[in-house]
């Protein structure tokens, strides 16, 4: 249509104006891009991510959106960053974009009451010194979706705060996340302190920097490659 007014076939841009006059502001926002949700996150388009997530939530299950779009987009962003194809500002932009999508999904799950019945209480935290919380937040969404009650202590969490909450809430399962080689040290320390005060408390760990072997070295009870494995561990611990 743009070509018509550029070539003066659409005199005084009447067709163009008519076309957009009929649209609501929302439609115009929706129409800003034809990109899919994955690409929108990769490109860090914050307005578009809101509309596209809302649109997908009408027809696709929330967890399918997490698995098929959000995690896949983050994997691609991570790879691009690793290879030096994008830099920190773009990385932050994508991380902020994906958060908008996650917040909408959380809202939807709440509305559906899919996180109401408690099958057991679990603490989640990203360890001291580490601000990467996207993975931990996915684990949280999935566990809540399966009916577990999550005490989310957030990111960069003090060891003392974790230990005190474990004792106060009589916790049977703690999930710790670490994404950096430097912060797996504080994960190890956190595990040691929890075990000192509550030896029977089980600890599952995750984060791209870990593997099964390393998790054994730091005395975690379970290593989870992804959020789905966290659900299996929780089911085993709470026998549900």
CA distance 197 to 203: 13
Which residues bind to ligand B12, rule: CB under 6 A?
71, 74, 77-78, 81-82, 91-92, 95, 129-136, 138-139, 175-177, 179-182, 204-209, 224, 226-227, 230
Surface-to-core class of residue 194, CB atoms within 10 Å of its CB (0-12 exposed, 13-18 middle, 19+ buried)? buried
Nearer to ligand B12, 205 or 218 (CB): 205
Q: How far is the CB of 224 from ligand B12 (least distance, A)?
A: 3
Q: How far is the CB of 32 from ligand B12 (least distance, A)?
A: 24
Specify which residues 177 forms β-bridges with: 126, 206
Measured over the CA atoms of residue 181, residue 186, residue 191 and residue 195, the dihedral's sign is positive
Nearer to ligand B12, 78 or 147 (CB): 78
Nearer to ligand B12, 82 or 111 (CB): 82
Q: How far is the CB of 30 from ligand B12 (least distance, A)?
A: 27
Q: How far is the CB of 193 from ligand B12 (least distance, A)?
A: 17
Measured over the CA atoms of residue 81, residue 138, residue 131 and residue 219, the dihedral's sign is negative
Question: 84's torsion region: left (phi>0), alpha (psi -120 to 50) or beta?
Answer: left
Q: How far is the CB of 90 from ligand B12 (least distance, A)?
A: 9
Nearer to ligand B12, 15 or 72 (CB): 72
Are 156 and 178 in contact by the 8 Å Cβ rule? The answer is no
CA distance 91 to 88: 5
Nearer to ligand B12, 10 or 210 (CB): 210
Specify which residues 125 forms β-bridges with: 176
């Amino acid at each position: 249509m743009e070509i018509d007014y550029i070539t003066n076939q659409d005199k005084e841009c009447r067709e163009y104006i008519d076309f957009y006059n009929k649209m609501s502001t929302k439609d115009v926002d929706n129409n800003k891009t034809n990109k899919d949700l994955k690409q929108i996150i990769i490109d860090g388009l914050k307005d578009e991510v809101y509309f596209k997530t809302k649109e997908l939530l009408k027809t696709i299950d929330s967890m399918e959106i997490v698995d098929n779009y959000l995690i896949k987009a983050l994997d691609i962003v991570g790879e691009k960053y690793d290879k030096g194809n994008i830099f920190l500002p773009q990385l932050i932009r994508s991380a902020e974009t994906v958060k908008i999508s996650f917040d909408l999904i959380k809202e939807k799950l709440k509305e559906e009451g899919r996180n109401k019945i408690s099958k057991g209480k679990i603490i989640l935290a990203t360890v001291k010194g580490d601000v990467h919380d996207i993975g931990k937040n996915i684990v949280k969404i999935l566990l809540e979706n399966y009916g577990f009650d999550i005490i989310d202590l957030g990111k960069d969490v003090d060891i003392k705060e974790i230990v005190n909450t474990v004792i106060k809430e009589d916790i049977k399962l703690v999930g710790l996340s670490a994404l950096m080689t430097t912060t797996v040290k504080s994960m190890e320390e956190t595990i040691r302190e929890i075990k000192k005060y509550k030896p029977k408390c089980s600890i599952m760990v995750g984060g791209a920097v870990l593997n099964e072997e390393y998790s054994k070295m730091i005395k975690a009870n379970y290593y989870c490659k992804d959020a789905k494995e966290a659900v299996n561990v929780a089911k085993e611990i709470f026998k549900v």
